[in-house]
Amino acid sequence: MPDLSDHLRALDRVESPDLWGEIRSRRPGPPIEPGGSALRHVALLAVVALVSAGAGAGIWAGLKTSATTGPSAVVVAPPSKPTSPSNKAVKEAEHLLSLLRLPPGSKPSSGPPAGSASQLRLPFSSVATPDQVDLTRYFTVPGAPVAVLAWVEAHPPTGGSLTESGTGGTAGAGASLFALGFGWPVNSASIESAQLLLEAVELPGRQSALRVDSQVVWLPEKNKADLVPANMRYLTATFDRSGARQKTETTSPSVIEQLRRAIDNLPIESPGAQSCPVYLPGGTVTLAFSPSSTEKPLAVVRADKYGCGTVTIMVDGKQGRPLSGGPGIVALASRLLLGQISPKAAAGCLPAQLHLSSDHSGWHANLAAMGQFVETFTVTNVSSSDCSLGGWPSLQAVVAGKAETVKTARVRQGAPGAKTWTMLTLRPGGTASFDIYGADWDAVKNRSCPAETSGFLVTLPGEPTAVSVTAPEPDCGSFYVAPLIAGSADHQAWSSVVPG
């Protein structure tokens, strides 16, 4: 077996690039600074609240915005060719603007309407990356800001889901700026995220000034240094589980090819600061691909299950760009090389075969005072037979001893274009887990959530009955639900809402 120590040390020596320096040099307009922590999503409001809402259809009325109205596009990095990801992002941003409907009587403006320039000079949030298109439009709209945004929320853009709302203003003077954000599921290998942001301020004469930003982040194209070469016939894998290392090897063409294709299909991690779950030690796998058992590896890949889920790659001694999708690679390598999940099909899990538990005192504590919570639920196969399950659980909140129906939205974990979920086959003693996400503060009304759960009634996919589990959490009325994944610790960030 080739010695991997040189390759592992090389990966450890890789320094993070000066992303904020890159953003400052490539982004026009006022500088963005990272402040006390590097957050990929830079909120410019005093308060931003996450809420869930389904995309809706309806009878559209009022003004249809035009992609040719208002200021020109702000492309943070210049397009290179018509089919480049950046040009595709410009077209997508124009398309999103065409989906927006505004109240009757709305009038486009070539810039911020008189009296609103100081408050509407920046979008209320932005993504800290140089690979972003931002098309900005301005309008004068009849009515107060709250009424204007309520109309837009009641007539959402086609296919969009409400993802953000918030207010801003001067301390002691109350809210003077009101904002909404809509997001779209992404099904493109070249687009990472797509959203419309609206912010409104009051004008004299019972009118509002409205700023609309269509923001699309694209994914860079891959080159040779970002891909595992074909025709690799020998693979060594090193699993790091909280300091305990486990090594294995294989010459199976099927296993090697599955892992190679999975890595090559991962998107480039978009440059910029990122807001990620708290990093936990362990949960990494290092994969070394070689032409044969007697030759040195041509590609060394290290995937991380926790934190940002980054995948680093070194090909023929050259460091490739970071990739997104580490948790999926760790899960696939574990399944193929360690046999944690049975590869054969099995009958669906029955309620008597499963035990459901929560992790309130563990993972949740890591997000205290961050305005949100993540609760991880773990499902264990307590029977002596294999069984299968997959998809999104449904849930009801238990408040004051009574089950209550709450708004939920299904979300995708990992890259926006990643597969939404995978059917899992659990061996006896095997585990799967899923996360729910929610706000722990009502930011719109600037107060605590009106209720607190004592637990949840969880209905696993394909099951006829719900299971009760204790999980005290703030209840602001809506939750995001992730799909089941293999293993007992999910802790992944979500990237997009999945309609349905």
Write the pLDDT tens digit of every residue in 288-299: 999 999 999 999
CA 365 → CA 39, 129, 241, 370, 450, distances in Å?
20, 29, 21, 10, 21
pLDDT tens digits, one per residue of 142-199: 999 999 999 999 999 998 888 888 877 665 555 688 999 998 887 776 787 899 999 9
Q: What is the DSSP string of 112-168?
A: SPTT-TTTSSS-SEEES-SSEEEEEEEEEEES-HHHHHHHHHHSPPTT-EEEEEEEE
C-alpha to C-alpha distance for 293 and 243, rounded to whole angstroms:
26
Q: By the 8 A CB rule, do 124 and 167 touch?
A: no
pLDDT of residue 362: 44
Distance CA 135, CA 195 (A): 11
Structure tokens at 72: 């020109």
pTM for the whole structure: 0.48
Comparing CA positions, the residue from 316, 314, 318 lying closest to residue 302 is 314
Give the residues of the chain that fall short of pLDDT 70.
1-83, 169-175, 189, 241-244, 270-282, 339-346, 360-371, 415-418, 489-492, 500
Q: Provide the 3-class DSSP secondary structure of residue 334.
A: helix
| Residues, the chain | 500
Domain ranges of the chain: 5-17+222-338, 39-218, 351-497
Nearest to 416 by CA among 296, 267, 252: 267
**Residue 183: strand, helix, or coil:** strand
Measured distance CA(274)–CA(38) in Å, rounded: 6
Q: What is the pLDDT of residue 489?
A: 66
Q: How far apart are CA 464 and CA 220, in angstroms?
A: 44
What is the per-residue burial (b if ≥16 Cβ within 10 Å, else e) of 373-411?
bbbbbbbbbebeebbbbbbbbebbbbbeeeeeebebbbb
Q: Which two tokens stand for residue 83?
A: 């089919």
- Cβ-proximal residues to 60 (8 Å cutoff; 6+ apart), any chain: 101, 155
